[in-house]
């Protein structure tokens, strides 16, 4: 590309040097001269003016060039002032004086003359902005600039980058600049540049290596060897990404199933309304965000105890209103709780809306944790995975370290003997159902950060939850954790090549065959009742 003819020489002279502060009037006069050079007909002269603006090290240079690139650097017809157009909506545009940022109010489109540019100048401006950003104090701006320079380095820019690399303190920026320079050297036929590009997973590096590998000779052979190593590394990173997404999906299944495992193990109740308890937790998060507009993080933190409480109270109401009258009649309990699930769904549709609602993700849960150029971990899934493990740890403490946990384990293993020992099984049933339902509410809070909230949210997880419980072992928390994470990873592995529906069928067939061999799951309950 043809750019930076005089720019690079000037930058080489001023790199790392700060111009002494000039009086305001002198800055304005110097800036006027720089901008006047842009307002000419010849595009070649405009290119030289852009070079001069960059070389001037004027603190306003970036704003001018960015505005020129966007078509916002214009000139008033009345007084010939250079202005920055802040917005082009409507008939009157708000403008600032380009030299001192003075607010000039609004001007109409007919009151201004745009400084025109062509495609060659646009490319020059993009590269010039990238070079300017390399001298910025903000590391994020320098990183973005270094990223844009990959594949854009020419012969004139190369010496500037070579001088900048040893001075750059940020390792990531230094690596990017080194790669940008190496790409340029490789395009010039330098075989030693491949050593610096080997192992890089960046897409631009792979494009250049693929282009080089298409030729003949020693250079092409070295490029092919580097690409082979990179492809192997990419496969490992894709496997790690699949594992991560599988674990995040599995953590959702664990949260959805762990409460069901407790109630199913203690009471033997197939609660088809469990999915709607998940839905209530998700809607609690959404409602709190409506009550606390502009504070999604605080609303999410408050929704954790609130979602647990709402779902727990709903679960206790279901247990007291329906399930206690149907103990020992599993089929009737299944049908009754299925009816409750339909009632809860319709209640939400009537009181809120049949449409899905979006829950705002807090800023600290947005974005990704970048591991390398081929692997990044989305923060919301990472938080959900950690949250699931915390809930699991809390439940383990309740079951192993509290009086309630002792009574729950006793009732689970042998209800008759537990009653004979003075344990009030009815009280245990109520508290256990409330605990399991509350955990379902926590699952809804977590799910609200991964998907939209709607009346049918819970239906998407109820079948998978039962599969996790049966696969892991009824009433066993460790079994639920292992089964949930395992099924999440298996689903994530199968879906890309089998499709979502066929993957679920294959998982279901696997569980059916597994249960034929181990009817009580991976971690069967111990006790006389479990053995019966």
Q: Where are the domains of the chain?
A: 240-531
Tokens of 427: 């009280």
Specify whether the CB–CB gap between 423 and 257 falls below 8 A.
no
Cβ-contact 344, 337 below 8 angstroms: no
With 0-12 / 13-18 / 19 or more C-beta atoms within 10 angstroms meaning exposed / middle / buried, residue 437 is buried
Which of 258, 309, 263, 523 has its CA nearest to residue 408?
A: 263
Q: Tokens for 157, please give them.
A: 């820019």
Query: pTM for this one?
Result: 0.74
Q: Quick one: tokens of 495?
A: 């879906």
Beta-bridged to residue 96, according to DSSP, are 84, 103
| Dist. CA 349–CA 283, nearest whole Å | 12
Q: Which residues pair with 458 in a beta bridge?
A: none
Q: How far apart are CA 457 and CA 348, in angstroms?
A: 11
Distance CA 81, CA 103 (A): 12
CB-based contact 441:304 (threshold 8 Å): no
For residue 514, what are the contacts with CB-CB under 8 A and spacing of at least 6? 471
> Six-digit token pair at 484?
């949930």
> Any residues with CB less than 8 A from the CB of 235 and at least 6 apart, and which?
none
Distance, in Å, from the CA atom of 345 to the CA atom of 458, rounded to the nearest integer, reads 9
d(Cα 498, Cα 492) in Å, to the nearest integer?
10
Give the number of other CB atoms < 10 A from CB of residue 50. 27
Q: Which residues of the chain have pLDDT under 50?
A: 1-22, 527-532
Tokens, residue 377: 């971990």
Residue 435: C-alpha distances to residues 9, 329, 340, 400 (Å):
72, 22, 19, 15
Rounded to whole angstroms, the Cα distance separating 221 from 345 reads 63
With 0-12 / 13-18 / 19 or more C-beta atoms within 10 angstroms meaning exposed / middle / buried, residue 159 is middle
In 268-295, where does DSSP find H-type helix? Answer: 274-291
The pLDDT of residue 530 is 45
CA separation for the pair 384, 447 (Å, rounded):
8
User: Which tens digit of pLDDT belongs to each residue from 489-517?
Assistant: 988 888 877 777 888 888 888 888 888 88
Cite the DSSP H helix spans in 99-157.
119-133, 139-148
Q: How far is CA 359 from CA 294, 302, 474, in A?
A: 12, 14, 33
Which residue, 246, 209, 241, 458, is CA-closest to 368? Answer: 241
The pair of structure tokens assigned to 109 is 């489109």
- Has domain 240-531 been given CATH number 1.10.287? no
d(CA 231, CA 223): 12
- CA distance linking residue 322 with residue 525, whole number of Å: 27
In whole angstroms, give the CA distance from residue 329 to residue 327. Answer: 5
Burial degree of 422 (CB within 10 A; 0-12, 13-18, 19+): exposed
CB-based contact 65:125 (threshold 8 Å)? yes
């Amino acid at each position: 590309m043809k750019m930076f003819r005089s720019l690079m020489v000037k930058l080489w002279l001023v790199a790392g040097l700060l111009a002494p502060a000039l009086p305001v009037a002198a800055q304005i006069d110097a800036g006027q001269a720089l901008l006047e050079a842009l307002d000419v007909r010849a595009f070649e002269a405009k290119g030289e003016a852009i070079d001069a603006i960059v070389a001037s090290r004027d603190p306003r240079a970036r704003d001018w060039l960015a505005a020129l690139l966007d078509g916002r650097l214009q000139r008033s017809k009345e007084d010939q002032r250079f202005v920055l157009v802040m917005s082009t909506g409507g008939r009157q545009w708000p403008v600032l004086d380009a030299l001192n940022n003075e607010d000039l109010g609004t001007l109409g489109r007919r009151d201004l003359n745009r400084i025109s540019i062509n495609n060659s100048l646009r490319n020059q401006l993009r590269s010039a902005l990238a070079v300017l950003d390399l001298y910025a104090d903000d590391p994020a701006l320098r990183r973005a600039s270094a990223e844009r320079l990959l594949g854009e380095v020419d012969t004139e820019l190369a010496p500037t980058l070579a001088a900048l690399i040893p001075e750059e303190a940020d390792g990531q920026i230094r690596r990017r600049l080194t790669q940008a320079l190496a790409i340029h050297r490789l395009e010039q036929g330098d075989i030693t540049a491949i050593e610096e590009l080997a192992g890089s997973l960046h897409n631009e590096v792979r494009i250049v290596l693929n282009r080089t590998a298409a030729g003949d000779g020693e250079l092409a052979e070295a490029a092919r060897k580097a690409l082979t190593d990179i492809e192997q590394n990419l496969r490992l990173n894709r496997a790690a990404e699949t594992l991560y997404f599988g674990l995040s999906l599995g953590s959702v299944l664990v949260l959805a199933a762990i409460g069901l495992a407790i109630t199913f193990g203690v009471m033997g109740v197939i609660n088809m309304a469990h999915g709607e308890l998940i839905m209530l937790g998700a809607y609690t998060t959404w409602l709190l965000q409506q009550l606390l507009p502009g504070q999604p993080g605080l609303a999410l933190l408050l929704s954790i105890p609130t979602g647990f409480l709402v779902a727990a109270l709903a679960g206790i109401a279901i247990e007291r209103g329906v399930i206690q009258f149907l103990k020992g009649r599993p089929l009737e309990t299944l049908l009754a709780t299925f009816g409750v699930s339909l009632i809860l769904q319709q209640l939400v549709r009537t009181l809120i809306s049949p449409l899905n609602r979006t829950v705002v993700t807090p800023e600290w849960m947005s974005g990704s944790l970048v591991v390398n150029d081929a692997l990044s971990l989305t923060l919301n899934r990472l938080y959900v995975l950690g949250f699931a493990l915390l809930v699991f740890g809390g439940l383990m403490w309740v079951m192993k370290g509290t009086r309630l946990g002792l009574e729950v384990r006793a009732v689970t293993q042998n209800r008759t003997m537990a009653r004979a020992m003075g344990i009030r099984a009815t009280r245990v049933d109520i508290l256990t159902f409330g605990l399991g339902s509350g955990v379902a509410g926590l699952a809804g809070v977590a799910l609200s950060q991964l998907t939209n909230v709607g009346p049918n949210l819970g239906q998407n997880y109820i079948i998978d939850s039962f599969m996790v419980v049966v696969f892991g072992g009824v009433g066993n928390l460790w079994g639920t954790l292992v089964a949930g994470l395992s099924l999440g990873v298996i689903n994530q592995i199968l879906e890309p090549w089998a499709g979502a529906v066929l993957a679920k069928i294959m998982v279901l067939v696997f569980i059916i065959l597994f249960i034929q061999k181990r009817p009580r799951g991976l971690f069967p309950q111990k006790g006389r009742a479990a053995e019966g």
